Structure 1
């Protein structure tokens, strides 16, 4: 009888302790932006006074904002070359349409800070008219599915797909005037990757995030291309 109570207790704790916690998208979005929040009427008036200032065919700087997340799961991602190639395709399309005359990548080593003014300064030093700032945040939610109860038997952890991992990547792109900080366009997209796996195996967090990141960037690039061409 005591053994039965023990098994039931283990199953209960397993189900409660390993249930899905979901994603706090609101909190994640707060970590993406680079612009200071508007806090008073004077700041609002200043924002309204700014006017578009781009030439017909402008020089575009592109900056990928570095990951500043501190949570141990979310901090395990970086911008890779294959990520940047997705937006390279958009840049080529914009050049062929005559919207952009030159695309200038900005590396993080020449940006003194991670705020908008520091990014604009780096873009100005490169002779750019506008700067595209791309930022992202990620999260991974691991939990057991309906087959997870079998893990109380120990051996099924080697072959039973009772584990679930959901990875979310939110990416944001903002296009700013280098001279006066006018905001031309903003776009956002999400990528969600779901994986069912055996507890003893399964992809690492960084691999799960990479798949969600690719999906988000592909969606964002299409949306951003439409927005800029129709400006």
Structure 2
């Protein structure tokens, strides 16, 4: 999973960098490491950007690495989660009309609390929200803040078979958008001339089919492999 951008420890705004994001991040990490202080680095967050939440009380999670050597009396890291309603601009609004203010919910500062569940009654179904997390190193004062992540609350729709067997954008077996876990198994394979002769099953955690010769794993994948393989096994 990709690491998210770091927020500068300085309280003053930084000048815009002309370096590519990856180079700028590496340069900042190098400078921070040489300073000798401890500082947090956000490695991963969940739920991810663009996800459909099947709950109005979602659990927000962050994974953080702490670089540097902490002092003998370690004060730890403080986590603050924020989730706000997504405000869409009004195309009919005039230049002097007030700008809509998003409704936000903040967690209390939690020392070593890298998860937070949004309280009941704060979110609504069928709405878009942006959430982020800010981490503060209580020993050095260094901070890190995640990007703003857009999520939507809503009940998951039943999947069609066309959605099954799909992997994530980076090839991972879990697809965050649908919540489906998929894994592939090769039951039989014979070396022949022409098209491959094999039986390959794809397991899907959201596949409701539990009967048939291929059991819950679902039908075989491929083109001509299924017919020829079935004859071979009978």
The two structures have a TM-score, normalised by structure 1, of 0.22
Structure with higher RCO (Cα < 8 A, 6+ apart): 1
Answer 1 or 2: which has greater helix percent.
1
